[in-house]
Chains A and B, each alone.
Chain A
Amino acid sequence: MKERINKLAIRGLTKRYGSATALSHVDLDLADGEFLTMLGPSGSGKTTLLWAVAGLNQPDDGKIWIDGREATYLPASGRDIGMVFQNYALFPHMTVAENISFPLEMRKMLAGERLPAIRRALEMVKLEHVGDRYCNQLSGGQQQRIALARAFVANPSIVLMDEPLGALDKKLRDHLQLEIKRLHAQLGMTVLYVTHDQEEAMVMSDRICLMNRGRIEQIGAPDELYFRPKSLFAADFLGESNLISGRIIAEEAGCLVLELPGIGTIRSRRTSADVHGPEVVHFTRPESIEILSEAETRANQLRGQVTEVVVSGAITKLFMRVGETSTLQISQLTRGLQGVCKGELLTIGWDDDVGRVFFDDKREAA
């Protein structure tokens, strides 16, 4: 561990439901003031992990420290946390102000100090005027903000958020993402956030923890995960990708030479030495592939035919047939692609350091 005390430290956390393993030996550290998002498909264990940190379920094995204090089996009420639930869990029998007051009362704050704290919290979420209302009289977005205010008002060690924007429409969600980021910066909160929306994770997080089948698949800054995924799952889950199966036929000068059936051979620089077995998948991001003029050359070059042109605003996606059966996707700024049309033959290429090679566990298993 580092010298600075981590707000949260998790070691070897394991949780089973009957015969199903929801979490398997998870280690995680959360620095003071950090915004860490747990991202993954449903059933990947991210919510189980969050609830274990909150003290709402009991792990079968492993330990949790909050603020340097062991909290593995501490009841939720003793953990000094704030939590935003997916459906907000606002108390329907209390007014907005009473809701926000509740965590303060539980921490035995005097009434005289509570009122200004509640007012400040309401100001922070820009809802000063709703204190006397009941939560069911507020819109979804407003309820969400009240849930936020209730989570941070008592200045907890960690704020936990369990898919807090899942129930809102896209526009409101985009807006509240930035709002939560602003609060995070303004209050210096330490946030552990759960979502299955990768875009949300990218926008908000300092680091993303990608979960899969109860394990941490990869953990790192958003751009690291995006451009340097460590596994096929990570590459496939985040963003769009071109995945082509092939086999390693040689290795020369730090580069793997792959044969892609029906396409030919390509070269990809060897990265972390975790490629075993000849059966592999080659990965590129659609925006890493360039359209080449006659004068340009790249380490890997292919000829292909445009099968579809999709303009989605600033970005245009080209779908190209290369070889006999493979299709590649290329994303470029729409501005640079004017004039390209369906059926055209183009030369495309990429350098040997933009792609990745992954062991194909699915094919191996089959």
Chain B
Amino acid sequence: MARVDFVAGTAPPLRIWPTWNKLYWQTGPVAVFLLSLFVIPVVMLLGLSFLDDRSLPSLEHYQRLIEVPLYGKVLLTTIKVAFYTTLLCVVGAYPVAYLLSISRGSTRNWLIILVLMPFWTSFLVRAFAWIVLLGRKGAVNQILLAMGIVDAPLQLIYNFAGVMIGMTHALMPLAILTLLAVMEGIDPNLPKAAATMGAKGGTRFWRIYFPLTMPGVASAALLVFITSLGFFITPALLGGPHDTMIVQLIIFQIREVLNWQFAGAIGVLLVITFMAIFLVYDRIFGLSVIGGSAQQARVPAKRSSIRGWAVLAGNAITSVLANLTDAAIYALTILKQGEKNRGRRTRIGLYAACTFVLAFLALPTLFVLPVSFTSEAFLTWPPKLFSLQWYQLVLDSPVWLGAAARSFMVALVAATIAMLFAVPCAFALARDNFAAKPALFGLVVAPMIVPNIFIAVGLFFLFSRIGIAGTTFAVVLGHTVIVIPYIVITVLAVIKGYDRNLDYAAATMGASGMQTFHRVTFPLIRSGIIASFMFAFIISFDELTIALFVTGGRITTLPKLMYEDALLSVSPRLAAVASLLLVFMSIIIVVSELIRRKGGYRHGQN
């Protein structure tokens, strides 16, 4: 990248600060912060597992992991849950992402909001909504009973099905957004070109479109799978005793048994599982597909022998599927040649699938609203309206108000500190080249990839040692760690989308570095920066895992209070809290979406 130097005279200016000092100033603080509050705690936690009670090196915890069959069983359950969640998420997300990729204008904006709303609705609120909907006295069972379809309420949650529904609901937006990124990079002429060469619908999809979306499918699947492995909120609230996930074991070891070392050992087990999955993935798809776009996928990957076989097998499978689909379409239409609106039928199929998936994503959450106005003392469907007693109860309660105020403050402070760390770092990552760049990038995005439970437990351990566990400050620090990656990534995208020639143009008109930033650069990236701040705010406000641990039971945040309340009993009071939260979050999301769109000068939008 070209450099612009402002030279006062004919001689080069004396640099008091060599250029690399600016780089240190941009990247140093965030690196030090993450090393001390992310890398060290996590490594310490995992290291603990190799010590016994007297802090001497020992493998006794691993012996126990292997010898007690429970842990192997839980690991298998975890993998099973993650696998089926991944399958459901990707299959459900595919048509929706496709519809989004071909929609334009306001249709697209509305669809995006429909996908983003559940994405940003608290896991807790969503799990709670499913309880309202699917519980023994929930809406679905009441309707089925009233219609006489069943005699007794069905067991819809607190079992494997409940976990599947909850987790698919929780993670599908992630899959949609990942797939969408890849689908938007695909040239819409390619399937058309195939058509001119004689390819029918099925062949066009399976041999052209689907292989091109493979990088998206692979990365969506990996993201969902990895995230599922570290999940515990949904299984804890919607699963039965047989659906315990491995993270729940870690929580149990720390909160109930206080066995740090053994918790660390389970953590190591999880890490090993992660690595094994990454390895298998790399062998089959190549890790370059992760976060990759179709553009990158065009560079043919070096073929390992396993991948070679995978490609061959993939080609064979898609060819067979192509022929089957073509035959099926042929059989269905029985040749209505000359028919004018051909292709409309497949569209109807697409719309039906998308409507179903979007309804699944968007509607359940709304069920918390009516039940929050019930005048009864427990959750029923249909709720006996109308009473504001539960809102009154919440708004009169110092515990709930205190928790909400703390969450709000923590989110505000954590997002602000994280911005101060992350934005300069994002500038350095976007605009400078330095040897440590890949390593720095890896460090700043790592807290997003490493399951929060490791960070939470590691920080709890560290904070206990230095005596700040159980303080609001500890929660702020923990949340700062986990929101940094989100800010870096969103701000990076904003900076990369910024045409640097505008800066150079300002310079040619006589603007100094500061003036250029103040008058040209910042006004153009401002909306992106604000949106990323709100993004960080929402994540922190909604965060449960870190809060669950570092608060050490002494203080509480809103999500933590909701979680503990939900574990004890599901009451209309919780519905009132969830409704308030839902409205609050929705406002923030819509506002930040509006701000983001207003900033779309580049796309000629208004």
Contacts and interface: CB of A to CB of B under 8 A. Distances in A.
Interface string B15-55: 00000000000000000000000000000000000000000
Given A75-B342, A91-B208, A102 B199 contact: yes
Contact of A154 (B197, B298, B300, B339): B197
A110 interface: no
- B192, B339, B340, B341, most chain A CB atoms within 10 A: B192
A75 B195 contact: yes
Contacts of B203: 77, 106
Contacts of B195: 54-56, 75-77
Interface string B184-217: 0001011011111111110110001001101000
A67 to B, nearest CB: 14
A103 B294 CA distance: 23
Interface string A294-328: 00000000000000000000000000000000000
Contacts of B193: 83, 85, 89, 91
Interface string A333-365: 000000000000000000000000000000000
Given A91-B190, A136-B298, A73 B199 contact: no
A53 B435 CA distance: 55
Interface in B293-344: 294, 297-300, 337-343
Contacts, number: 89
Contacts of B204: 77
A81 interface: yes
Contacts of B338: 70, 72-74
Interface residues of A, number: 33
A267 interface: no
A72 B198 CA distance: 16
Given A56-B192, A106-B198, A74 B212 contact: no
Given A75-B342, A93-B297, A136-B298, A102 B337 contact: no
**Chain B interface residue count: which class?**
20 to 34
Contact of A85 (B189, B299, B300, B342): B189
A87 B297 contact: no
Contact of B190 (A74, A83, A89): A89
Nearest to B197: A103
A92 interface: yes
A54 to B, nearest CB: 5
A74 B343 CA distance: 11
Contacts of A145: none
B136 to A, nearest CB: 50
Nearest to A137: B300
Given A73-B340, A73-B342, A160 B212 contact: no
Contact of B200 (A70, A75, A92): A75
Contacts of B294: 92
A82 B190 contact: no
Contacts of A154: 197-198
A107 interface: yes
A134 to B, nearest CB: 5
B198 A77 contact: yes
A73 B338 CA distance: 5
B196 A160 contact: yes
A80 interface: yes
Interface in B269-311: 294, 297-300
B564 to A, nearest CB: 50
A46 interface: no
Interface in B403-447: none
A288 interface: no
A160 B212 CA distance: 25
A87 B187 contact: yes
Contacts of B194: 91, 102, 106
A135 B193 CA distance: 15
B197 A82 contact: yes
A134 B298 contact: yes
A177 interface: no
Top 7 nearest A-B pairs (CB, nearest first) are A106-B198, A76-B195, A103-B197, A89-B193, A83-B196, A89-B189, A92-B298
Given A75-B200, A85-B189, A89-B190, 19 more contacts: A54-B196, A55-B195, A55-B196, A58-B341, A76-B192, A76-B196, A77-B195, A77-B196, A77-B201, A78-B198, A82-B196, A87-B187, A89-B192, A89-B193, A91-B193, A92-B294, A102-B194, A135-B298, A154-B197
Interface of B: 187, 189-190, 192-201, 203-204, 208, 211-212, 214, 294, 297-300, 337-343
9 contacts: A54-B192, A54-B196, A58-B341, A73-B337, A77-B198, A89-B187, A89-B192, A89-B193, A160-B196
